[in-house]
């Protein structure tokens, strides 16, 4: 691309190396989660939610288990103000949930914010002002000391208003655009605010360090967080909070490395909704931890239900490939993937294992409300015999022999390729029925009887067109006797009869299913399937089906 030279790295590394976080392997406990869906997420919608929608969304967040929920910018609009007053006056906030509100460091906005909070059982008042080089130079045109004065003046006013207002308040400060701010200056302004608020063990202060615009690789953000965490005043009484955005597509990585570096709290949204490319996706973060055996302290056991409410209220669509929540994230179309998953699932049925381990599935889809049937393996022209066989077995109880599964796999792929579409399980089953099951032309099986149990002599009644006749045969077993009768009558020559049977456990448990493969003299193999309440009859029907396939193909 042209003009790359016009871009300079706009972030700042700490004045000294901060790499202790690199010695940690994974996140060992859940952070404090704060949902900002109703503020960051809502303001980013083409049509923001109305009061009723915001109330329903708030309840969704409570049901998921969020204990801190940012409910808006109450001084920004009447809808935001009314929403907050409704939550408080109608006692809709559970006792164990803390609401959070945002305010700029401007006097009339701060006073309006506290007016909206009267009577709140517990609320975080989130004060912010922009500190980055770009904001200082281009937007505010102020010096560092003038920017510090904005923050300190706001901090003092928060303290005064909290003393005058009925309620229980905790303070939070964000140097907005932290990632574009010199790290030493971020530390200075945060410490000046902390000096005003004087946090204690009983009244801790939250210092939120947002990647308002993601400007660096994730390790840089982690180093910035570690430096701040190690140099903030009153550190034991400060909660370090992260608020990554996703401009570079690294919001999750920023948050994960930031937690390793000292972040104790994460602000984000469901499915990463928010301005521009969005906030960090708390669902992905939480389930990443879950995949490492760590309880995220949030309930995502019904991702499809959460997704449905989210899309209805926000009018946003979650991509099919979105981690964990997308329609296709646990789905394999590739034949090799399908085969590995099918074998892995079968292996789990045969083994007693403490830990989940299935190829291509980092977590058990059922843990988050996804179904194996129709979710894990879906069939198109790229699919393989393993996946197609898995669908038949899972949904219809049909456990095809390996060679028959391969033969059927080509049938299904040809249909999908010709129709240029994915095939649903019922369509796959219909193809199987038409291709193999109880085939009646050109020769229809009617009934059989055995005349001598020792010699296995049989009389088989068949129908060809409108003609019904009896044919006879002898063999070393009942099925062999019937096979010999068919070969003699029809003038066929086949060998290597492959046979498998099992109870049909899906649907009617009284039925049996048999599979038979025969090899013609020219080497071609033909398969049939029989289904009947009697196991012997199902075997005969399978044989007739295979023979009919052979006859129809002119072999």
Residue 445 has φ and ψ, to the nearest 5°, of -75, 135
Report yes or no on 541 lying in a domain.
Answer: yes
In the chain, the percentage of residues whose pLDDT exceeds 90 is 71
Report yes or no on 16 lying in a domain.
Answer: no
**Whole-number Cα distances in Å, 288 to 76, 256, 355, 430:** 35, 9, 16, 39
Report yes or no on 384 lying in a domain.
Answer: yes
Report yes or no on 247 lying in a domain.
Answer: yes
The reported pTM is: 0.82
pLDDT value at 44 more than 60: yes
**Whole-number Cα distances in Å, 359 to 287, 354, 548:** 18, 16, 39
State how far Cα 471 lies from the chain centre.
60
Domain stops at, among 406, 434, 462: 434
> For the domain that residue 524 is a member of, what is the CATH number?
3.30.160.270
Residues 79 and 145 in one domain: yes
Contact criterion met (CB below 8 Å) for 154 and 110: yes
Query: Which pLDDT belongs to residue 64?
Result: 98
pLDDT tens digit sequence for 268-292: 999 999 999 999 999 999 999 999 9
CA-based torsion, 152, 157, 163, 168: positive or negative: negative
- Domain range for residue 451? 444-552
Report yes or no on 265 lying in a domain.
Answer: yes
Contacts of residues 24-29 at CB distance under 8 Å and 24 or more positions apart, as own/partner, are 24/260, 26/292, 26/294, 27/256, 27/259, 27/260, 27/289, 27/292, 27/294, 28/294, 29/294
Report yes or no on 329 lying in a domain.
Answer: no
- The 10 Å Cβ neighbour count of residue 184 is 13
Q: What is the rounded CA–CA span in Å between residue 462 and residue 467?
A: 8
Residues 425 and 534 in one domain: no
Residues 531 and 494 in one domain: yes
Residue for token digits 């979710």? 375
Residues 383 and 521 in one domain: no
Strand partners, 175: 129
pLDDT value at 157 more than 70: yes
Among 296-310, 351-365, 495-509, the range scoring the smallest mean pLDDT is 495-509
- Residue 48, burial from CB neighbour count under 10 angstroms (0-12, 13-18, 19+): middle
Q: Find the helix packing angle between 385-396 and 335-350, rounded to 10°.
A: 50
pLDDT tens digit sequence for 339-395: 788 888 888 888 878 899 999 899 999 999 998 766 676 676 566 666 778 788 888
Residues 450 and 548 in one domain: yes
Residues 470 and 424 in one domain: no
Q: What is the rounded CA–CA span in Å between residue 286 and residue 324?
A: 10
Give me the number of domains the chain comprises: 3
Residue 246 has φ and ψ, to the nearest 5°, of -120, 30
In the chain, the percentage of residues whose pLDDT exceeds 70 is 96
Q: Would you state the structure tokens that stand for residue 400, as one six-digit string? A: 């095809």
Residues 298 and 413 in one domain: no
Residues 273 and 400 in one domain: no
Dihedral angle computed from the Cα positions of residues 274, 275, 278 and 282, in that order, rounded to the nearest 10 degrees: -30
pLDDT value at 334 more than 90: no
Neighbour order of strands in the sheet with 444-452 = 444-452, 457-464, 467-474
Domain stops at, among 434, 460, 483: 434
Q: What is the rounded CA–CA span in Å between residue 80 and residue 68?
A: 17
Query: Which pLDDT belongs to residue 381?
Result: 59
Q: Are strands 457-464 and 467-474 parallel, antiparallel or unpaired?
A: antiparallel
Residues 278 and 408 in one domain: no
Dihedral angle computed from the Cα positions of residues 313, 318, 322 and 328, in that order, rounded to the nearest 10 degrees: 120
Report yes or no on 439 lying in a domain.
Answer: no
Residues sharing a CB contact under 8 Å with residue 182, sequence separation 6 or more, in sequence order: 12, 133
Question: Across 74-222, where does the E strand assignment appear?
Answer: 98-104, 120-130, 167-176, 205-211
Report yes or no on 7 lying in a domain.
Answer: no
Residue for token digits 């006097």? 107
DSSP secondary structure letter of residue 423: B
User: DSSP per residue over 309-341, as a string?
Assistant: HHHHHH-----TTSTTTSTTTT-B-SHHHHHHH
- How many C-alpha atoms does 546 have within 13 Å on its Cβ side? 32
| pLDDT mean over 472-497 | 88
Strand partners, 68: 34, 98
pLDDT band at 299 (very low <50, low <70, confident <90, very high): very high
Residues 61 and 200 in one domain: yes
Specify the DSSP element, H or E, that contains 432. helix 425-436
CA nearest 103: which of 131, 80, 125? 125
Residues sharing a CB contact under 8 Å with residue 79, sequence separation 6 or more, in sequence order: 48, 50, 51, 54
pLDDT value at 303 more than 90: yes
Q: Find the helix packing angle between 251-260 and 218-231, rounded to 10°.
A: 30
Question: Across 177-324, where does the E strand assignment appear?
Answer: 205-211, 238-244, 265-268
Q: What is the rounded CA–CA span in Å between residue 157 and residue 164?
A: 11
Residues 74 and 168 in one domain: yes
Domain stops at, among 281, 314, 347: 314
User: In 3-state terms, what secondary structure has residue 118?
Assistant: coil
Among 93-107, 148-162, 346-360, 535-549, the range scoring the smallest mean pLDDT is 346-360
pLDDT tens digit sequence for 449-483: 988 666 688 899 999 888 999 998 888 888 999 99
Q: What is the rounded CA–CA span in Å between residue 263 and residue 414?
A: 54
- Quote the mean pLDDT of the chain: 92
| pLDDT mean over 215-234 | 97
Residues 376 and 521 in one domain: no
């Amino acid at each position: 691309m042209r003009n790359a030279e016009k871009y300079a790295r706009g972030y700042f590394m700490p004045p000294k190396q901060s790499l202790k976080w690199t010695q940690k392997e994974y996140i060992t406990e859940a952070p404090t989660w704060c949902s900002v869906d109703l503020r960051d997420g809502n303001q980013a919608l083409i049509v923001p939610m109305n009061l009723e929608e915001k109330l329903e969304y708030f309840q969704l967040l409570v049901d998921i288990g969020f204990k801190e929920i940012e409910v808006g910018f109450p001084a920004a609009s009447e809808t935001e103000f009314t929403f907050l007053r409704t939550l408080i006056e109608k006692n809709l906030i559970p006792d164990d949930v803390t609401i959070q509100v945002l305010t700029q460091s401007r006097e009339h906005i701060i006073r309006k914010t506290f007016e909206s909070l009267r009577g709140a059982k517990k609320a975080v008042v989130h004060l912010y002002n922009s500190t980055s080089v770009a904001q200082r130079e281009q937007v505010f045109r102020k010096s560092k000391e003038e920017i510090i004065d904005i923050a300190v003046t706001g901090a003092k006013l928060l303290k005064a208003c909290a003393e005058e207002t009925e309620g229980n308040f905790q303070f939070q400060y964000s140097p907005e655009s932290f990632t574009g701010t010199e790290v030493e200056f971020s530390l200075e302004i945060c410490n000046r605010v902390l000096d005003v608020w004087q946090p204690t063990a009983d009244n801790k202060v939250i210092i939120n360090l947002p990647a308002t615009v993601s400007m660096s690789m994730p390790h840089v953000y982690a180093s910035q967080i570690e430096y701040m965490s190690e140099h903030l005043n009153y550190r034991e009484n400060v909660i370090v909070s992260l608020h990554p955005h996703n401009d570079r597509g690294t919001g999750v990585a920023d948050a994960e490395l930031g937690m390793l570096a000292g972040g104790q709290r994460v602000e984000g949204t469901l499915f990463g909704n928010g301005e521009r490319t969005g906030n960090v996706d708390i669902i992905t973060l939480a389930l990443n931890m879950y995949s490492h055996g760590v309880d995220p302290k949030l309930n995502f056991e019904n991702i499809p239900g959460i997704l449905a409410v989210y899309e209805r209220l926000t009018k946003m669509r979650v991509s099919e490939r979105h981690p964990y929540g997308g329609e296709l994230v646990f789905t394999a179309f590739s034949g090799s993937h399908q085969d590995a998953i099918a074998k892995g699932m079968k292996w789990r049925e045969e083994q007693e294992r403490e830990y989940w381990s299935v190829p291509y599935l980092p977590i058990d889809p059922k843990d988050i409300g996804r179904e194996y049937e129709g979710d894990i393996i879906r069939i198109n022209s790229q699919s393989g015999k393993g996946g197609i066989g898995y669908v038949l077995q899972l949904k219809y109880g049909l456990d095809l022999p390996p060679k028959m599964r391969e033969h059927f796999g080509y049938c299904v792929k040809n249909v999908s390729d010709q129709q240029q579409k994915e095939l649903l399980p019922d369509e796959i089953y219909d193809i199987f029925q038409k291709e193999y099951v109880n085939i009646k032309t050109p020769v229809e099986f009617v009934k059989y009887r055995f005349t001598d149990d020792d010699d296995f002599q049989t009389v088989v009644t068949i129908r060809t067109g409108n003609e019904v006749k009896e044919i006879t045969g002898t063999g070393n077993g009942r099925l062999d006797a019937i096979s010999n009768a068919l070969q003699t009558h029809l003038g066929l020559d086949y060998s290597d009869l492959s046979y498998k049977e099992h109870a049909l456990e899906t649907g009617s448990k009284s039925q049996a299913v048999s599979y038979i493969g025969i090899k013609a003299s020219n080497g071609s193999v033909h398969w049939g399937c029989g289904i009947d309440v009697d196991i012997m009859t199902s075997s005969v029907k399978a044989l007739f089906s295979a023979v009919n396939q052979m006859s129809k193909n002119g072999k």
